[in-house]
Amino acid sequence: MKRTVDVNIPLGPIHPCFKEPARVKCETKGERVIAAEVELGYMKKGIERIMKGRPWQEVMFLAERVCGICSVIHNMVYIEAMEQISDIRVPPRAAYLRVVANELDRMQSHLLANFSYCYTIEHETLGMYLLDCREQVMDLLERLTGARVTCAYIIPGGVRCDIHKEDLTFMLEALTRTEHELLRYTGMFETGPMIALRSRGVGVLTPEAAQQAHAVGPTARASGIAIDRRTEHPTYRILGFTPVVRHDCDNYARIMVRFDEVFQSIRLIRSALNGLPSGIIRGGGTCKAGEVRYSGEAPRGELTYIIRTDEYGRVAEIEIQTPSIMNIEACCHSMIIGADSIADVTSAFISADPCIACTER
Amino acid sequence: MSFLQSIKNKVRSRSIHVSYVDVGACNGCEIEVRACLAPRYDIEQYGIYVHNNPREADVLIVVGAYTHGWEEKLAPLWEKIPDPKAAIAVGNCPISGCCFNRRGSYIDPPVSRHIPIAAEVPGCPPRPTEILNAILSVRDSVFANWEAEHR
Q: How confident is the model at residue A4, as a pLDDT? A: 67
Q: Tell me which residue in B30, B70, B102 faces A19 most closely, judged by beta carbons.
A: B30
Burial B10-32 (b: 16+ CB within 10 A, else e): eebeeebbbbbbbbbbbbbbbbb
Pairwise CB contact (< 8 Å): B40 & A135: yes
* DSSP, res B106: S
Q: How confident is the model at residue A150, as a pLDDT? A: 86
CB neighbour list of residue A303: distance below 8 Å, 6 or more residues apart: A73, A74, A77, A229, A295, A296, A297, A320, A321, A322, A323
Pairwise CB contact (< 8 Å): A65 & B99: yes
Which tens digits make up the pLDDT trace of B102-140?
Answer: 888 888 888 888 899 989 999 888 989 999 989 888 888
Residue B57 has pLDDT above 80, yes or no: yes
Measured CA to CA, the distance from residue A353 to residue A304 in angstroms comes to 18
Burial B46-79 (b: 16+ CB within 10 A, else e): bebbbebebeebbbbbbbbbbbebbeeebeebbe
pTM given for the model = 0.91
Confidence at A3, pLDDT banded by 50, 70, 90: low
Q: Which of A187, A182, A170 is nearest to A133 (CA)?
A: A182
Q: What are phi and psi of A36, to 5 degrees?
A: -145, 150
In chain A, the largest separation of any two C-alpha atoms, in whole Å, equals 69
Residue A16 has pLDDT above 80, yes or no: no
Which tens digits make up the pLDDT trace of A202-230?
Answer: 888 888 888 888 889 898 898 888 888 88
Spell out the SS3 assignment of A41-110. CCCCCCHHHHHCCCEHHHHHHHHHCCCCCCHHHHHHHHHHHHHHHHCCCCCHHHHHHHHHHHHHHHHHHH
Contacts of A16 in chain B (CB under 8 A): 51-53
Burial of A107 (0-12, 13-18, 19+ CB in 10 A): buried
Nearest CA in chain B to A71: B28
Please enumerate residues of B whose Cβ is less than 8 A from a Cβ of A. Answer: 19, 21-32, 34-35, 37-40, 51-54, 64-65, 67-70, 73, 77, 98-100, 102-107, 124-125, 127
Shortest CA gap A240–chain B (Å) = 31
Residue A83 has pLDDT above 80, yes or no: yes
Judged by average pLDDT, the poorest of A6-15, A172-181, A313-322 is A6-15
Which tens digits make up the pLDDT trace of A100-137?
Answer: 999 999 999 999 999 989 888 888 889 899 999 999 99
Do A298 and A217 touch, CB atoms closer than 8 A?
yes
Q: How confident is the model at residue A337, as a pLDDT? A: 82
Shortest CA gap A299–chain B (Å) = 14
Q: How confident is the model at residue A1, as a pLDDT? A: 57
Helices A92-120 and A71-86: crossing angle in degrees, nearest 10, is 150
Pairwise CB contact (< 8 Å): A69 & B27: yes
Mean pLDDT of B62-74: 87
ipTM of the complex: 0.88
Measured CA to CA, the distance from residue A88 to residue B3 in angstroms comes to 73
